[in-house]
């Protein structure tokens, strides 16, 4: 009886870790919207500068807040979310940073990825793609896996992202979105055998793949 109790205890103790390691993400992205803090830049203003605050951690994925500065002197600050403590019943993935910000050719659209704690790695990973079009709100797109790569298309009107697992075969999930709404416009997948896109993949995906592998 004691051996059975010990076995039950070990199973329960490791259940959260197993669930995390074996969880699989769905293909359909979710879009959430948050409001900016501070004033909205004028419609005629354009982005002239942006930077991410450094932190004492000095890590690629652990950063401070993002500052976006406009030609009309408006400054939008997107802050890293405050940390919360996990409990035995509620495991919280804290945001650790804002990374890879880039401005579209229209100088009004900027996007970045947001990194979070990850139970399967010793470091935080990018899990959300954020898009800001110099208005009152920011779009946050989450697919369930990590962001491998993203890029603007059509001057910033569309944005492509490649999602995938942290380890294992590099079979990316390529998704194309409308930058204004976050709506997914197209999707294609890497080939299991070659770990590259198939020959009949859409051109936007091929362009994204070329950019991703040329980094």
Which tokens hold the place of 40?
A: 């909205």
pLDDT tens track, the chain, 215 positions: 444 443 333 333 332 332 333 334 446 899 999 999 889 999 999 999 999 998 876 677 789 999 999 999 999 999 999 888 877 777 778 899 999 999 999 999 999 999 998 877 778 999 999 999 999 999 999 999 999 999 999 999 999 999 999 876 678 999 999 999 999 999 999 998 888 999 999 999 999 999 999 98
Instruction: Determine the Cα–Cα distance for residues 207 and 68; give it in Å rounded to an integer.
Output: 28
Instruction: Determine the Cα–Cα distance for residues 85 and 107; give it in Å rounded to an integer.
Output: 38
> Among the residues of 23-125, which ranges form H helices?
none
Provide the residue ranges of all domains of the chain, joining segments of one domain with +. Answer: 27-213
Beta strands in 41-165 (DSSP E): 47-52, 66-70, 75-78, 95-103, 110-116, 125-132, 137-142, 146-153, 158-164
Residues near 30 by Cβ (< 8 Å), separated by ≥ 6?
141, 142, 143
Instruction: Determine the Cα–Cα distance for residues 107 and 204; give it in Å rounded to an integer.
Output: 21
Residues near 85 by Cβ (< 8 Å), separated by ≥ 6?
92
């Amino acid at each position: 009886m004691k051996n059975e109790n010990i076995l039950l205890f070990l199973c329960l103790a490791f259940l959260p870790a197993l669930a995390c390691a074996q969880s699989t993400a769905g293909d359909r992205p979710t879009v959430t919207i948050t409001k900016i803090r501070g004033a909205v830049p004028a419609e005629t203003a354009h982005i002239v500068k942006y930077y991410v605050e450094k932190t004492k951690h000095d890590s690629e994925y652990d950063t401070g807040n993002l500052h976006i500065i406009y030609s009309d002197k408006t400054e939008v600050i997107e802050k890293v979310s405050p940390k919360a403590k996990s409990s035995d019943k509620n495991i919280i993935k804290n945001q650790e940073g804002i990374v890879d910000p880039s401005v579209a050719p229209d100088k009004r659209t900027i996007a970045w990825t947001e990194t979070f704690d990850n139970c399967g790695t010793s470091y935080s990973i990018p899990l959300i793609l954020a898009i800001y079009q110099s208005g009152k709100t920011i779009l946050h797109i989450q697919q369930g896996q990590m962001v491998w790569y993203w890029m603007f298309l059509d001057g910033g009107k569309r944005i492509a992202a490649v999602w995938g697992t942290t380890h294992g075969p590099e079979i990316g999930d390529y998704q194309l979105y409308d930058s204004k709404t976050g709506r997914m416009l197209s999707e294609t997948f890497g080939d299991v055998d070659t770990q590259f896109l198939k020959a009949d993949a859409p051109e936007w995906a091929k362009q994204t793949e070329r950019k991703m592998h040329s980094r």
